[in-house]
Structure 1
Amino acid sequence: MKFKYTVCFIKKGNKILMLNREKAPIMGLWNGVGGKIENGESPEEAAIREVWEETGIQLDSFVSQGVITWETPEGIVDGIHVFLGELNRDFKNNTPQKIREGILDWKEIDWILNPNNLGIPEKVPQYLPVLLKQKGHHFFTYKKGNMLHEKRL
């Protein structure tokens, strides 16, 4: 399945580069970087391009990736391609940094996954730990906001 959007989490040590978005649909929340897949692009190519455009970081590959699907209130299956990239601990990137889409900042993984954290999209604490622990390709299926199952290829 190919969906319209990507999101990429960039890990360095015990931190992930997050973007506090200034635009809908998740305005004001911290999420990975990403965006729309352009005509002729694969999801991987789009994620690499979006990471470069939003952060200036050149990723060549991902350590983990997946597809998240859910059913809209209208009964239509929608989804997003999710990626996890990893940088060397020595990589330097000064944050916080204001960019066109919002503010980039390195956030501790424990902060991102804290059950009391209301500042991230609701599905992130469910699928991000899987991407961090099990490298490879994953498929996550949600219904009414709850993960029904996760499958790894």
Structure 2
Amino acid sequence: MQGYNVIMVYHHNQDKILMCKRVKEPYKGLYNLVGGKIEPGETGIDSAYRELREEAGISREDIVLHPVMEFSYYLQDCRVEVYAGRLRHEVEPAGDEQYLDWIDAASDFFDMALYAGEGNIGHMVAQVNLFKKDVLGDQ
């Protein structure tokens, strides 16, 4: 089963979430979370930090990631690990694979005309909101 990750990066003020606008299928033109494949021999958390550095220029020194949940898609033979964290300080994300944008954290992430994943992003955000202090801490 191929492993993937998605990373919910919250702005250090917790008022925005970093999203990328998909430039290819699936979900071309829709906003999605940053993430990618877990390489053979790589742990999920190491993969999440690698993808975050590659796709957004955000390092381990900029953010502490916490595991939030995992989805298994048996019919697609894949597993998705979900991580979330809040930036420790102001960081200007930079990547050349996809357009990156800060989206208001109060947005309707269940809106499938704007966001990829058949409502999964909305579910992930709702879970982080339930456990915000544990995942994002106080500031």
TM-score class, shorter: 0.7 to 0.9
TM-score by length of 2: 0.77
TM-score by length of 1: 0.71
Distance in 1 between the 2:2 and 2:128 partners?
19
Offset at residue 41 of structure 1 (A): 0.5
Does the 8 A contact of 1:59 with 1:85 survive in 2?
A: no
- The answer on 1:34 being equivalent to 2:35 is yes
Q: Encode CA deviations 1:94-128: one digit per residue, 9 max, x unaligned.
A: 6xx6x332100100012243x54621122111222
What SS is found at the alignment partner of 1:18?
Answer: strand
Distance in 1 between the 2:99 and 2:127 partners?
26
Match of 1:87 in 2: 87
Q: Encode CA deviations 1:5-53: one digit per residue, 9 max, x unaligned.
A: 1110100121001000112222211111111111210111001000001
Offset at residue 65 of structure 1 (A): 2.1
What SS is found at the alignment partner of 1:47?
Answer: helix
Does the 8 A contact of 1:14 with 1:109 survive in 2?
A: yes
Match of 1:103 in 2: 99
**More strand per residue:** 1
Q: Which has the greater radius of gyration?
A: 1
Match of 1:5 in 2: 4
Contiguous gaps of at least 5 residues in structure 2: none
Q: Encode CA deviations 1:67-93: one digit per residue, 9 max, x unaligned.
A: 012343xxx6633111112113x4131
- The answer on 1:24 being equivalent to 2:25 is yes
- The answer on 1:119 being equivalent to 2:114 is yes
Match of 1:51 in 2: 52
Does the 8 A contact of 1:18 with 1:30 survive in 2?
A: yes
% identity of equivalent residues: 28
Does the 8 A contact of 1:68 with 1:81 survive in 2?
A: yes
Backbone CA RMSD of aligned residues:
2.3
Does the 8 A contact of 1:64 with 1:84 survive in 2?
A: yes
What SS is found at the alignment partner of 2:5?
Answer: strand
Match of 1:129 in 2: 126
